[in-house]
Amino acid sequence: MIAQNVTISGLNHNYTDTDLPIADQGVSLGTIEISDDVWIGANCVITQGVKIGKHVVVAASSVVTGDIPDNCVVGGIPAKILKQYITDEGYWKRIQE
């Protein structure tokens, strides 16, 4: 399920060479994989090269820049794991920072 105003982009501008304008540095491309039973909230951005596992909730307005494992709730900029389902014990564990 994908809510409104979500951006899923497999393209990113290169910017590492400080001697060149960003517009002259080209782009990099990467695939994006979104597994089954994923809910992406409104106004999220999913960037290139990301893999989102099964049974994942992405909180509204999050920016996903890295892979997300199965059975997680993620949120923030950049998105971090907020909760993870502990399959063996059958409960959601809040992840503390």
By annotation, the residues acting in catalysis are: 13
Strands (DSSP E) contained in the chain are 7-8, 11-13, 27-29, 33-34, 38-40, 45-46, 51-52, 56-58, 63-64, 72-75, 80-86, 91-94
